[in-house]
Structure 1
Amino acid sequence: MSLIFNKKYKLHASENVEEFLKALGVSLEDRNLCHSAIPVVELTKKEDGKLVLSSTSDKKDFSIEFYLNEEFVEETLYDHKVTSLFTQDGNKLVVVQKSDNYNDVTIVREFNPDELKITLTIDGITCYRIYKPVD
């Protein structure tokens, strides 16, 4: 199975988000914003092979562009500067984010026709976010 492009997924359920965000040092205000947002996520691919991962909600929109297997400096949704490396493992899009301010973060996005499962891990704390396709 491979990545799924041009399909929108809407947040359906989350688990352990608060502990994960605290471990990242995310402010209380931004944690509250995260809990109230219901994002829609989409992965697209440009003609030059660059991937675009976008998240839209009524609270905040976010988009990153990257090539697989090429490190780049990214500003995260919570304004942290990190060095990111995206790789692909079948239907999984995996990113490792390195920062001087906290330990490495690993984010695995598993694309399936009926679900997008995102697993986020830092310091042994794991958070899950389940998205369902938008009709």
Structure 2
Amino acid sequence: MDEFLDKKYQQTNQNNFEDYLVYTGVNYLGRKIALTLKPVQSLHRNNDGTYTFRITSSYFNWEIVFTPGIEFEETKPDGSKVRAKFLMNDNIMTHIQVDENGIQSKHVIEFYPDKNIVTTTATGLEKVVTRHYTLVS
């Protein structure tokens, strides 16, 4: 994963993302805002061994500090809270979230030298969500 640290990837397109937002209860305004943004993702390893995953955009900035494999309470950009865990293996970072209703979302982020691809699934959602990001720096 080291070769992907401190690089920035900007979203270029997405597929079925609105369906996921509806399914997870994001309100209409929140969905419309989320669909117009082209967020930038970055991953940083901190001196204490934790990682910081950042998503920035013109509308909001969101940051998660985590230790791989350790569950924690996460506040999502819409303000809702979930139990979360990150797993890391080679070029893949998996972000697992479980909401108060027991719905599990899994975001598999595959890092490549010039891009990353996020594939999202959720318990009971019959669609697979994909978001593509391109390296910007």
The runs of at least 4 consecutive aligned structure 1 residues that moved more than 2 Å come to none
Q: Once the 2 structures are TM-superposed, how far is the Cα of residue 102 of structure 1 from its aligned partner?
A: 5.0
Q: Which runs of 5+ in 2 are unaligned?
A: none
Amino acid aligned to 2:19: E
Q: Describe how 1:23-38 pairs up with structure 2 within 5 A.
A: 23-38=23-38
1:6, 1:96 → 2: CA distance? Answer: 22
Equivalent position SS for 1:65:
strand
1:78, 1:34 → 2: CA distance? Answer: 10
Q: Describe how 1:19-98 pairs up with structure 2 within 5 A.
A: 19-98=19-98
Give 2:130's match in structure 1, choosing from 95, 106, 128. Answer: 128
2:92, 2:28 → 1: CA distance? Answer: 31
Amino acid aligned to 2:95: V
Q: Which runs of 5+ in 1 are unaligned?
A: none
TM-score normalised by structure 1 residue count: 0.94
Q: What is the aligned length?
A: 134
TM-score normalised by structure 2 residue count: 0.93
Q: Deviations over 1:20-75 (max 9, x none)?
A: 11110110000000011111110001011110000111111111100001000000
1:88, 1:59 → 2: CA distance? Answer: 28
Equivalent position SS for 2:59:
coil
Q: Deviations over 1:85-120 (max 9, x none)?
A: 111122110021111235111011111111110111
2:102, 2:33 → 1: CA distance? Answer: 21
